[in-house]
Structures are given as C-alpha cells and as structure tokens.
Structure 1
Amino acid sequence: MASNTKAQAQSILHLWNIGIRAAAEIRRRTNIPRSTIYYNLAKLRKTGSTAHKKRSGRPKKITSENSISVGQYIRRNPAASSRKLASKLSLRGVNVSYSTVLRHLASLGYDKKCPLATPMLTRLYKEKRIEWAQRHLNDDWNRTVFTDETSFWLFSNTVQYWYRGQRPVRRIPKDRTRVNAWGGFCVRGKTSLYCFRENMTGPIYVEIIRDHLSEIRRMLRNNWRLQQDNDPKHTSRVAKEFLQENVPTVMDWPSNSPDLNPIKNLWAVLKRNVEMRQPKNIGELESFMKEEWTKIPQDIIRNLVGSMKERSILTMSNLCWSELR
C-alpha cells in the first residue's frame, strides 16, 4: 500500500513539474483518487514537495519558499547547471554546495538528461507520415524485406560498464576507420551482411540488391516487397530502373522517418555485440560484424516485424496529439 501511495505521489509530482496542476486534469490522466490528488497538491503548494515532513533531524538548508523558487527557475531555464542554481540561491542568502542542489532537485523528482532526439519534421512531413501510417495500418508485414545501410567504427566507445571508484579510461585513436554495411531481414530470416569500405553510389547499391535477390526469393519466393528509405542512391535513375525490372514491389516510405524502420533496432543490437568483442583492427571489425549478424536470434526478427502495426498506430496518435505543430 505504501509503495502504491508513493508511486501516486511521484506521478502527481511529475505532472506538477511539467505544468499540469489542475486536479481534474491529473485525475483524467492518472485515475488517482481525488483525495490523494488534493492532498499532494496542497503539499506541493505549501512545501514544493510531496515528501513527508520529517519529525526530527537537522533542518533543511533549502526552505520550502526557496524550493518553490528553484522549481520556477528550472522550468524557465531547464538547461541550468547545479552550480548556477547554487549561485542563484546564494543571492537569496542560502549558501549550499552544488551537490546539495543536486540532491534537492532529485527529491523534487527532477532528473537531468539530454532531450530525446527525433526527426526534424515540417508540417508537410507530419501529414505525409500520418497518411502513410493510415494507408499501411493493416498491411501484411510478413512479406516485407526491411533494408538499410549503416557504418561501424573501429574503437567505438558507446557500451556502458559498471565500475567502482575512478572512472575507467579507454584510449581512442584520433583517426578511426569504419566499415559500411548493408543488410536486410524479413519474418523468415536475414540476408547475409554485405560489408564495404567505399562510399555508396547508385551502381553499388544496384549490385548489392542484385547479389541478394536469390536469398530473398528463397525466403519469400516472389510474393515480397522491398522497403528502403529515400536516400538519393536508392532513388537514382539506375536504381529505379533495376528495381522496376527485378523487384515485385518497392514500398513507398515517408521522408525523414528512420524511427519507423525496425532495422534500426537491429543495427543497435549488432553494434553493441560487435563493440563488446573489442576488435583491434579493420579485419577483426568486419569479421565480428558478419559473425554477430548471423547470431541474432530469430525471435528478435519476428518481434521487430510484428512491431510494425504498433509503430503505425503510435505515429498516428503522436502526430495527431501534437495537432501537426
């Protein structure tokens, strides 16, 4: 019961921090009992926090009045550093360290992270995405081959490690080498991974598709369609001519929509697995890429294909909710 009450208080605090403070709206969004909402809103207005008042111990350096001021400043300046906030508090006669400010912000429910990166979409792009999602909502995704290219860098440094004490150091060369890769998958499996080091061109793209047609046909026979993004190499004259003659259907795809392509999730899995093996040279990098590609479980493939309807629904609901802003 206590944990449920705490979770409800945290939900109310989160909505309060993003500017939603009407009890009716909080009730509509969370279905929390009205008495709990009114109780926590009263505490927030009085103390700036939903935490229970402690009966004993050293008094807090940051009073409820200053806490409210901190919250107001954070909402106006969300990128402010804890040192800046400590400096602002000192002007009010409150001398605290920046670490104290960090702890206080955490008690208020704040967490500092980079904003989630999303595609830069104009109103027209948003409209096109909604139209695309509506048109393909009930598609048979089991006959779609999802494709894409990506790059793998030698000495990548993106895997997080647990450590105690001093943060570990990894030496990274100034000039790193990369290997490009093309891959595809469908509900029945994956194509082989094609690795290359030159820049992609229309003719190179045609050769890649040509070399993998037999693999795709073995998996889906002739009842399949190709998914590709709108990269200029994919839509070049030489590529269009080849695809018209050799591919049953080329699927339309909305511009600036990498988030809709499930192969992006597959790349993330592959890159992590390759980096965990810490390749020491370009030969090992390419070898590990191909080995780890073949090891990706079929369950992951099926789940990604099965996610397409949900991706379409989320695309429509998110963009409609934002009223095409």
Structure 2
Amino acid sequence: MLAEVHKQKRVEWARKHLNDRWDRTLFTDETAFQLFRNTVERWYKGKRPVRRIPKDRTKIMAWGGFCAKGKTSLFCFKQIMNAEFYVEILRTHAPEISQMLGSRWRFQQDNDPKHTSRLAKAFIEENFPQVLEWPSNSPDLNPIENLWSIIKSKVEKRMPKNLDDLENFMIEEWENIPESVLINFSYSMRRRCELIIENNGERIPY
C-alpha cells in the first residue's frame, strides 16, 4: 500500500510529465530470470496443507533499456550488483545508446540505491544528456516492467534445461521483441500519467 506522501508525489509527477515527448526516453532496469520457475508439490502426513516448493532458485540477472526507437543489447550477469558494477554496465552500453539516440534523449532509472549512488550519479551526469527524475515505489509507471513480463513468459515456454539455455533464450527473446511493442509501451506513458492523476496516485493496472 502506498503512503499518502507517495501518492501525492506520483500525482505531481504525472501532472508535470503528462505532455512529455516519450519517444526519446530510454527506460531501463534490471530483473531476474529464474531457472525452473515451476514448482513441485510436497505432501505431509496428517491434514497439513500442501506446500509448494520451488524446484530450483538458480537465476540469471539481466539489465536492459528500450525506447520507441530501439533497445540496448541485453546484459546478463550472475554476480551481485553494486554501484561500481552498475556504472560499468552503463559505461559498456553508453556508445550504443548514443548511436541509437544521438545527443537528445532522456535516461530513466528507478530509485534503487545503486542507481542513485554518488558514483552512478557522477557517471550519468557526465555521460547522459538528461535524467528523468522518477517517483518512488512506482514500478507500475515503468513500461520496461511490461517488457520483462513478456520476455519471461516466452523464455519459460521454451523450458530451458540449464543456465546456458536460460541465458541464450533470454537474449534471443529480447532481440525478437518487435519494434511495434517498443513504440506502444513508450507511448503508453501518457495514459499511465492520466491514470495516476485520475486515481489520486494509487497504483494503476499496468
């Protein structure tokens, strides 16, 4: 449940950005892809309920970014991310982002402490032309969450048998996302802003 202060800030943000041009905003985030996301049932004696236990918690993390004009390559990793590693990811992808968007674009990230560290802020301010401030506790505003959901569903249907399969499928499905999906998700931002305002800052069905 969102606190009132967060709802108010979400409404203020939505009003401020309602009429923005969203085609040159690069939406970014990282997410985890699980190997063997399905579960097994385990029965216990007596009348205790069935407990569902994950088969395997092995995972691969991924970072990516997209806009209406295209997407970055997908960066896959298994180590724990810290501020230094996050900056290295951004440094690695900065040339391809510049090639895709030129000098007039806006960088979006959430408020994860790694993203807002002094190290990350310094790199972003020096290398990216503009940063979009982001309201706290607002994954429903970020269209990359919808993109992750699509890719995870497609990867899961392919039933990867090991981590190599998982990583290969992640990259393939990321690369196969149609441009029309990227455009639609980018331009959904106006409607998201409208819904935030209409719902007084409450979470929206995205």
1:191 aligned residue (61, 65, 72): 72
CA-based RMSD of the aligned residues comes to 1.8
The one-letter code of the counterpart of 2:87 is: V
Corresponding position of 2:42: none
- Measure how far apart 1:175 and its partner are: 3.8
2:143 is the alignment partner of 1:259: no
- Could you tell me the percent identity over the aligned residues? 58
Mapping of 1:13-162 within 5 angstroms? 120-157=1-38
Shift >4 Å, 4+ stretches: none
- TM-score of the superposition, structure 2-length normalised? 0.89
Deviation sequence 1:230-271 (CA, Å, 0-9, x none): 000000111011111111111100000000000000000000
Residue 321 and residue 212 in structure 1: after superposition, are their counterparts in 2 closer, same or farther (change >3 A)?
Answer: closer
Mapping of 1:190-269 within 5 angstroms? 190-269=71-150
- Measure how far apart 1:199 and its partner are: 1.1
- TM-score of the superposition, structure 1-length normalised? 0.57
- Measure how far apart 1:157 and its partner are: 2.4
**Between Structure 1 and Structure 2, which shows a larger proportion of helix residues?**
1
The one-letter code of the counterpart of 1:313 is: E
2:174 is the alignment partner of 1:277: no
Residue 121 and residue 250 in structure 1: after superposition, are their counterparts in 2 closer, same or farther (change >3 A)?
Answer: same
Deviation sequence 1:139-192 (CA, Å, 0-9, x none): 01111000001000000129xxxxxxxxxxxxx864421000001001111100
- Measure how far apart 1:200 and its partner are: 1.1
- Measure how far apart 1:319 and its partner are: 1.2
Count of paired positions: 191
Unaligned runs of 5+ in 1: 1-119, 159-171
Corresponding position of 2:181: 300
Q: Distance in 1 between matches of 2:64 and 2:102?
A: 18
Corresponding position of 1:33: none
Structure 2 residue matching 1:254: 3-state secondary structure: coil
**Between Structure 1 and Structure 2, which shows a larger proportion of strand residues?**
2
The one-letter code of the counterpart of 1:263 is: I
Structure 1 residue matching 2:6: 3-state secondary structure: helix
The one-letter code of the counterpart of 2:30 is: E
